[in-house]
Amino acid sequence: MAHRFGLYDVDSRELDESGRNLAFRPRVGPIVPQLERLYTLAEEEHYPLVFTTCCSGRMASPGRLPNTGFVPMNVTEACWRAALPKCRRFYLAKPAFGHPNLNRACRAFDIFQHNANAPHLFRELDVGTWVVFGNGFDLCVGSAARGLLQAGLKVVVLEDVRVSSADATPQSELQTLHTLREQGARLMTLDSFLSLTAHP
């Protein structure tokens, strides 16, 4: 096992208006301090960091983000694998269908349905446990965690580093948490997770 943990940030960031840097999605404002703590941890501990952008956000294209491996959706495009030994940060491409209702109907939020390279990336990074958090809990975060679990990987879901899906209810979020726990995810707070990473 090359890394004890890897971080999977679901849809928290997008390209800024200049198209040259990453910016937080407006909806994640309440959890920005927690996100920054996680990014700092990834940098200090050299943990892999995988991230996506919301279907309605400004998505990156190949070569747009420095020091970041761009993982395309088409499984026949294998050149991204060259970044595996050099990068610790990877951007997973996802589709966008131009309208929120169509994105939902086509399950554009489900990275494991649309990005055929995603399972290969997560296996190749050789991580003991993937820590999942971010934006759109019932749909985007939930499907990301389920995809990892279905791939046979260990998952921690940070239940206090999440933003609700647009049409979520407290009951639907509780159901999503319950389902993820039943499927094998470990639910933790950020502070509890950070205590696991603390050096003696």
Domains within the chain, CATH numbers bracketed: 3-197 (3.40.50.850)
CA angle 13–19–21, rounded 5-degree value: 55
Residues sharing a CB contact under 8 Å with residue 54, sequence separation 6 or more, in sequence order: 11, 14, 25, 135, 136, 140
Residue 77 and residue 71 in contact, taking contact as beta carbons nearer than 8 Å: no
Chain centroid to Cα 15, Å, comes to 15
pLDDT in tens, 72-117: 999 999 899 999 998 999 999 999 888 888 888 889 889 999 999 9
pTM reported for the whole predicted model = 0.95
Alpha helices, H only, 46-160: 100-105, 111-114, 118-124, 142-150
pLDDT band for position 2 (cuts 50, 70, 90): confident
pLDDT in tens, 133-190: 999 999 999 999 999 999 999 999 999 999 998 888 989 999 999 999 999 999 999 9
Distance CA 158, CA 190 (A): 6
Q: What is the pLDDT of residue 82?
A: 92
Distance CA 149, CA 82 (A): 26
- Six-digit token string for 119: 């399972």
- In the chain, how long is the greatest CA-to-CA distance? 50
- Six-digit token string for 148: 């990892």
Distance CA 34, CA 107 (A): 28
